[in-house]
A and B are shown apart, each in its own frame.
Chain A
C-alpha cells in the first residue's frame, strides 16, 4: 500500500492544524492556573455554554428532519418539478449566513435570542445535510428496499429500517459539519444578538486583542469541538457502504404521493420563500433605495476580484491538503489515523479569530516575512475549511470500491498508480465538490480575513461587514449581492456534482 508518503503528508497537515491548539496551550501555561480558573469558571462562561448546547441540540435534529424529508421528497416521490425543489434546497448555500441573518432582522426587527438563532441557523445550514443525504438516497440500491418489503414491512417501516440506516454516513457527516458551523459562526449571531463562544471571543478580542480571556474561551470552544467530533465517530460506526456484486443498481421507483402532493409542494415552496425570498427581498429594497451611486466600481470591483482569487486558491489548496487524510480514513483506518483525522476536523471548528490570532502571533514573533502575507491567510483558510473538504472527499472515496484498486494491482499496477488511476478518478467529483465547498466558505469568511489579510486586501465579506456595522446598509447591498453572485456558480457546481453518481 502507498501508505508512507500519504501518512507523512497527512501528518504534516495534522501538525499544522495543531498550531492553534498549541498556541492556546502555551497561553494557558503562560498565565498560570489561578488566572485560568478565574477566566474559565465564571458565570459568563456558563451562560455561553448553555447557549451553545441548546443551539446545537435544537438546530441539528431540526435540520436532519428537514433535510431527510426534503431529500426523500425530491429523490423518491412523484412530486412535480423535483429538480426545481432540489435546486431550491441547495440554493441557500449561496447566501452567506450573516446575510440570511440580516435579512431576517430587517424583516422582524425584534428577532433575537435562542429561538431566532435556531431558526436562522436551520435555514442557513440545512443544505449541508440535504446535499449528502439526497446524494446517498439517489445511489441506494432499491433491491434492499424490495427485500424489506417482500418480508412484509410497510412503507414507513421500510423507510426506517432499510433506508434510514443506509443514510447514516451522510447524516453523520452533514450533522457534524453543521455542528461545527454553529460553534464557529460569528456574523449570524451578532446580527440577532445571540451570544455564543465565538461572539464572546470576538468581543474580548476587540477589547483586548489577544487577552488570556479570549484564549481561555477559545480553549473551552475547542473542548466543545472535540466532544462533537467524538460523538460523530461513535455514531458513524464502521460499516461498509459500497455496493459490490454483478450488474448495477437500478434507479429506484418514485413513490406516488396522492393527495399528499399538496404538503409535498408546500414544504419546499415555503422553505424557498424563507431561505431565498427573504434575503433577496431585503437586498432588493436596499438596492432600490441606493440607486446607481452605490455601485462604486473601483471599490466593489476590487473586492470582487480579491475575493475570487482568495476563494479559488484557498479552495484548491484546502482540498489538496485534505485528500491524503480522506483517503487514509477510508482505506486504512486505525488508531493513529483516527487521531490524525481528529486533528483535521477539530481545527475547522475553531472560530476564525482563534486560528487568526495564533497565526498572527506566530508569524509576528517567529516568521516575520510571513506576517500579513497572502500565504498566511491561505494557511488560515486551509485550516478553517479542512473539515468541509474532508466530508466531500471521504464520502466519494468510500464509494470507490477498494476491490477495484486491488484488481488494478493484480493487473500489474503499482499501489500508487492504482490509487491515481482508479480511486482518484472515481473520487474526482468529490474533489471538485470539496473545492467548491471550501471556496464557498472562503467567499463568506469574515473574522480571519479581517485579521490576516495583507494590507490593502479587502474582500466582499469584510467590506459588507464594515459597512453594515456603520449602519450603511444601502452601500453594503452591492457587496452582499456580489457574494451571492460569486457563490452561485459554486453552488451550481455542487448541485451538479451531487446529481452525478460516483464513477460516472
Chain B
C-alpha cells in the first residue's frame, strides 16, 4: 500500500456504517464511477434492473446509460468488448452474471485478457475488472454455484481476488479498479447478504496480493477465502471450546498469492488445513499445499489436509447441497485429523 493510500484508509476510519457485502460492492462501484470518468459498468441486466443480485442497483439512474449499460446476452462478447475498451484506455468493469457462465468467455480471457500486455511488451495494458458471483450455499439452479477460481488463477497475467466480508469487498474492489492489469473479482453469493459489517464510508483501497489474519491462533492454520471464511470461523469457534487454538488466514487474493503471510502462520502453528468449495482435483488448494510442502515442510507437525468440494458438478439439489460444500463439521474433522496425527 502506498503511503497516500494508507492515509486515505486512516482518514476514513471514524465514519462507518453496517452494511452487507453486496451493498459494499455497490458503494465501491458508485465511488469508482464518481471518482474516475473512465469507469464504465456493463453486463447483462446491470442497468435498470441493477443486476440480479442488485450489486449495480441505482447506478444507471445516477450515472446514466452511457456509463452503466446493458449488453446483449453473450459472455464472450462482453469480455471481448471489455478488452477493446481497455485497449482504448477506458476502465471497463464488466459483470459476468454468474461465475459458472464465464466459460464461453474463457477464450477471450486466456487468449487475450491475460496476455495482451505481454504480447505488446506493455504497449497495451488491459485495466479490466470482471466481477462474477460464485459459489454455493443459497440453493441456486444448475450451473449457478461453480467456483472456477483455479482455472483463472492458472492464467498468466490475471489477478484473482475473492473477498470474504463487506469491508474487504469494498476496498479490494476499489484496488482492483485502480489496478492497471486485469482482475477477476469473485463474489461469494452466500456472503452477499449473510452478514453486515461496519464499512468505512469514504474511498479506501485494500492492496491486492495481501492476505489477512482473520483470527489469531497457535495450534493450526486454516487457510481459506471468500465464502469459506465464515465456515472456518464457525469451525474455529467450536474448536476453541475444545481447547484448540486455530488461526485463520483469509487469502483475499489468490493470484498473486501472499505466500509470506500464509507460510509465517504455518511455520508458527505447524499444521495446515486448506478449505475451498471448488472441486478437489487440481484446485487452488493444491497450489497452496504445494507451496507449504516446498517452503515449510520442516515446520510441519502433520500432513497438510484439504477440505473441498468433490470432483463432480455442483449439485443443485437443495436437500444434499450442503453435503458438497464444506461445512464447519467437515472442517472440524480435518482439524482433528491434523491435531491427532
A and B from one assembly? no
Mark B residues whose CB is within 8 Å of A.
none
Mark A residues whose CB is within 8 Å of B.
none
